[in-house]
Amino acid sequence: MKVKEAIAEIKRRPKEEWRSELLSWFTLEAKSRVKLRSHNSTPTHPLVVSVVEEMTRWIGKVAEGLDLELDVITILTSGSRIYAEYGFRSPEEIESITKLRKAYQRGVHPLDVISEGDLEAFFTSTMGSLLKGAEDLITNLPKPNKEAQ
DSSP designation for 131: H
pLDDT in tens, the chain (149 residues): 788 998 898 889 888 888 888 888 888 899 999 999 999 899 999 999 999 999 988 988 888 888 888 777 677 778 888 998 898 988 988 898 899 889 889 999 888 888 888 888 888 888 877 878 887 777 777 776 666 55
pTM of the model: 0.78
Domain contains 37: yes
Domain contains 144: no
Give dist(CA 123, CA 111) in Å, integer: 16
Domain contains 142: no
31: domain range? 3-132
Torsion-angle region of 41 (φ positive above 0: left; ψ -120 to 50: alpha; else: beta): beta
Domain contains 46: yes
Domain contains 54: yes
Domain contains 148: no
From the CB of residue 38, how many other CB atoms can be counted at a distance below 10 Å?
15
Longest dimension (CA), the chain: 64
Give dist(CA 69, CA 48) in Å, integer: 25
Domain contains 92: yes
Give the chain's domain count: 1
